[in-house]
Structure 1
Amino acid sequence: MTRLSVNLNKIAVLRNSRGGVRPDIVRAARTVLAAGAHGLTLHPRPDLRHVRPDDVRALAALTDGVEYNLEGNPFAPARGEYPGFLALVEEVRPDQATLVPDGDDQITSDHGFDLGRDCSRLAPLVAGLRASGARVSVFVDAGSIEGFDAARRIGVSRVEIYTGPYAAAFSRGDASAALAACAATARAAQAAGLEVNAGHDLDQANLGPFLRAVPRVAEVSIGHALIDDALYEGLDRTVRRYLAAIAAAAT
């Protein structure tokens, strides 16, 4: 069954807006794990807009036996207290490193790598991440069907389908074309021997239809919508609702 990794970046956004330590990201992590989440995701950025390196280190101490996924741009250099994505992965040894081509000018991740073009420059970075013990996943656009064999050859194990366009289409009332694009990408990646993750703007309404249409999704990473729901229903109950949606999609 598809596994749920909860992205806690928005907890850090709330904390940073006021300063201090509240809300406490470690307490939030313990709560989602106690509710049954299969893993934790953090996406530290060099501008420290939300989670910081000390958050990454603090949550690493909680994830013995639970999957820890770090997302980030592998080409972003060290800046201030941000040591660089590769250095942070080497230090905390997450189970998975998800490579995302984002920059400071993006409010949030909004596109994936072009594997047909980018595999050659990703290859040495993937090798370094694998040497630290991390499984490597690469963020790709829905509809991508090229470059998966090359990605497998350089050591990539998974791709994460960027589901933002699907979520937008779902909210407009016609997600059939977006779902078909996601499914085509999943099948192409799986044919090359890669597993498939998914994430971005997935929520309780659109998650089930996505999982029923896209074959064999290994993991979904959900943060923004889940934290939004938790403001009204509580974090524990919300995680359990997302797990229920995943279970229902598998029946």
Structure 2
Amino acid sequence: MEEEEDVEELGERLYKLIYPGYSNMAGKLTGMLLELPSSVLAQMLQDETMLATAVEKALSALQPSKHTGKMEAEGEDAVSASSDSLGEQLYELVDTHNTGFTEKITGMLLEQRKKDVQKLLSDPGLLEEGIKVALKTLEEQNSTETDVSDCSDPDDIDRMGEKLFAIVQQIDAKNCADITGMLLEMEPKTLGQLFCDRSMLEAAVKRAQAAIVRAAHTAIAAIKQKA
């Protein structure tokens, strides 16, 4: 009940601020802004610039409905913000957690579907959980970067080879030794990137697999010619 009363109070205060400039649309605009988290709404009430920006975004979201009438027919899309708007809103919320990685975390969270991002904006608990997961991922990446950043020493190269072999073995157990050997011929910095970027690693493994297949075909062809 207290939460409902807080939202109602925020709505009334927002309406009073919006009405002078948009008397004919104050109700609609207030309703759209009330979909934002209470913490953001509270900031808007204290920051005229932030409120004005939010109102402008809400107005821009309504513009297509004046020309095509599609927005109202699409239900939730009538009050959904653009991708840029979602990103800005998410950035502001993530920034309040003072993680020191606001941009990176926001970018990671924005990789989700638009509906999932909207849920993060409306559910503080869900957003906090998403931030924790992103932070853990970043910490693991930073740890790996630290481990493989300096590979000039033979012992470091051996250590990297062992880690790389363990990862490649999960992808291609049959050819993991050959593939690891091929990957270790890459520059140390490039290898470090492979540890931090799974998609980049998988692409490198696929290229190595293709090279192995080509080598096998060449060997078979050479044997047939001799025969």
TM-score under structure 1 length normalisation: 0.20
Q: Which has the larger Rg?
A: 2
Looking at both structures, which has the greater relative contact order when contacts are Cα pairs under 8 Å and sequence separation is at least 6?
1
More helix, by proportion: 2
More strand, by proportion: 1
